[in-house]
Chain A
Amino acid sequence: MLKDITIGQYIPGDSLIHLLDPRTKILGAMAFILALFIASGPEGYLILTLFSIIIIILSRIPTSFVLRGLKPLYYILAFTVLLNFFLTPGVEIWRWKFLRLTEEGLRQGLFMGWRLLLLVLTTSLLTLTSSPIALTDGIERLLNPFKTIGVPAHELAMMMTIALRFIPTLLEETDKIMKAQMARGAEFESGNIVQRAKGMVPLLVPLFISAFRRADELAMAMEARCYRGGEGRTRMKQLEMKKRDYYALTLMGLLVIFAIYERLCL
């Protein structure tokens, strides 16, 4: 069962969105979320919806992949919409026993649902179009200016890379330990809930011990190779901001300004 999991939702490609610098995409996603929470009326939502549709088309990611990101949210989405429908006080327009649908509720429910939908669809595009390594690099570079106030940009990125490297290894290890313990008579998939919870112990103890042992071995190996942190490190792939990145960032800035204008003036 553990083998079925594929790492990363990244779908390689060479669309305009793929080619943007990861820093641009991270900042752009943040700007979009900001605009989404500031916007309050139909005009704002219309612009933001059009914007999402356009970048989804530009990314040339099959729509089915984009929509797949919504799947885990169906339940909470329906819940939010219905709760807002029936629990918002206001002018009643429909009634069935104790359920009262109000005009304000209808409005608010649809807006909330739509906002969540846009939020998830657009931010999932960030990870669909950039590889985790590129994003890690982007996060390190974005955090660099904060180094002066003590944010350890390099260390954070390094730890992310290590975690990324060891996820498949530890997955395999989990599988191995489960099989080894099953051969010794452990039960993982039967019994009542208490027995199953207890069954986790012979899996978890060796798993954590082995992770600690790996950390120790890796530390020794890195010390032996004179690892000394991020200072003076050179890279094979340099991130570079191009003209298109500045255009994209300007566009995102305009979107936020529009949202503020819409909130205050329209």
Chain B
Amino acid sequence: MDKKAFISLRGMLKAGLMAALTAVLAWVQIPLPFSPVPITGQTFGVMLAGSLLGKRTGCLSMLIFLLLGTAGVPVFAGAKAGLGVLLGPTGGYLLAFPLAAYTIGSIAFPSQGSPSPMRMGWANFLGGILVIYALGTIQLSLVAHMSFGAAFVAGALYFIPGDLLKVMVATFVGLRVRAILPRFKMEEKG
């Protein structure tokens, strides 16, 4: 091939598989005793896409995930799908996924060596919580005509304790998987 490809075949497949995995995780739910909204595994997908695939491929995999949902595969939490979900009041949390994965990927891959657990944790916190809630709350307040504060209470407050737990689990899992991956010769150059 004379022209440089947009993405390597391996990168393409990893992004596709990660999008599928995020969809599968959306269906894994843990009910919370103190909050009306359950924990879904979806954000694990976002955090691990960023911290395992890096910013570019991770971001791409989340884009694929959103496109799948737009195409009608019930991949969003609670087996929802469609353009209406993305543009509706709660769509901002989903639309933030690519940016969140990008943020995580850029922090979790230091210029050399592997990231410290602390750095990985920060990456997951900034991308997985800050980016997602900021964009999600903005869209909720815009689409549903609420004040920013009301939107935060309606859409974010109850989720935060669960999400902090998820950040810890995702950080741990991310470090473990990254330690195991080289054994399968999964790392490629370029």
* Among A9, A122, A163, A211, residue most surrounded by chain B Cβ atoms (within 10 Å): A163
Q: Does B83 contact A170, Cβ atoms closer than 8 Å?
A: no
Q: Are A196 and B150 in contact (CB under 8 A)?
A: no
A19 adjacent to chain B (CB < 8 Å) = no
Which residues does chain B contribute within 8 Å of A116, judged by CB atoms?
88-89, 143-144
Contact assessment for A170 and B24 in the assembled complex, using a CB-CB cutoff below 8 Å: yes
What's the Cα separation between A127 and B150 when bound, in Å?
32
Q: Which residues of B contact A160 (CB under 8 A)?
A: 16, 19, 64, 67-68, 71
Chain A window 143-159, contacts with chain B (Cβ cutoff 8 Å), 1 for yes, 0 for no: 00000001010011011
Q: Which residues of A contact B181 (CB under 8 A)?
A: 209, 212
**Hey, what's the 0/1 contact readout for B75-110 against A, CB within 8 Å counting as 1?**
100111111110111100000000000000000000
B150 and A83 form a contact (CB under 8 A): yes
- Interface 9-residue window, one of B3-11, B112-120, B122-130: B3-11
| B145 in contact with A84 (CB, 8 Å) | yes
A251 within 8 A of B: no
Q: Check B17–A120 contact: CB distance below 8 A.
A: no
Size category of the B interface is 35 or more
> B34 to nearest A CB, angstroms?
8
Interface of B is mostly: helix
Are A159 and B16 in contact (CB-based, < 8 A)?
A: yes
Residues of A within 8 A of B71 (CB): 127, 132, 135-136, 139, 160
- Inter-chain contact B67/A139, CB cutoff 8 Å: yes
User: B133 contacts the other chain (Cβ, under 8 Å)?
Assistant: no
Please tell me if the beta carbons of A156 and B87 are within 8 angstroms of each other in the complex.
no
- Whether B186 lies near A120 (C-beta < 8 A) is no
Q: A200-B41, A204-B169 known; A162 and B16 CB under 8 Å?
A: yes
Give the CA-CA distance A56 to B75 in the complex, in Å.
Answer: 24
B44's nearest neighbour on chain A, judged by CB, is A204
Rounded to whole angstroms, the CA-CA distance of A139 and B67 in the bound complex is: 9
Among A2, A158, A170, A205, contact of B20 (Cβ-Cβ < 8 Å) = A170
Whether B165 pairs with A155 at a CB distance below 8 angstroms is no
Q: Are B52 and A208 in contact (CB under 8 A)?
A: yes
CB contacts under 8 Å to B, within A34-58, are none
4 extra A-B contacts, CB within 8 A, seeds A200-B44, A212-B14, A229-B5: A76-B144, A132-B68, A162-B16, A197-B169
Residues of B within 8 A of A (CB): 1, 5-7, 9-10, 12-21, 23-24, 27-28, 30, 32-33, 39, 41, 44, 48, 52, 60-61, 63-65, 67-68, 70-75, 78-85, 87-90, 143-147, 150, 154, 162, 165-166, 168-169, 172-173, 176-177, 180-181, 184-186
List, sorted by A's number, 29 A–B pairs whose CB atoms are closer than 8 Å.
Answer: A7-B74, A29-B83, A73-B89, A108-B145, A120-B85, A126-B82, A127-B72, A127-B81, A136-B71, A152-B7, A159-B12, A159-B16, A159-B61, A163-B19, A164-B20, A164-B68, A166-B17, A197-B39, A197-B168, A200-B173, A205-B173, A208-B177, A209-B180, A213-B186, A214-B17, A215-B13, A215-B14, A219-B10, A219-B13
> Which 10 pairs between the two chains have the least Cβ-Cβ distance?
A127-B72, A162-B16, A123-B84, A135-B71, A120-B84, A152-B6, A215-B13, A159-B16, A163-B19, A163-B20
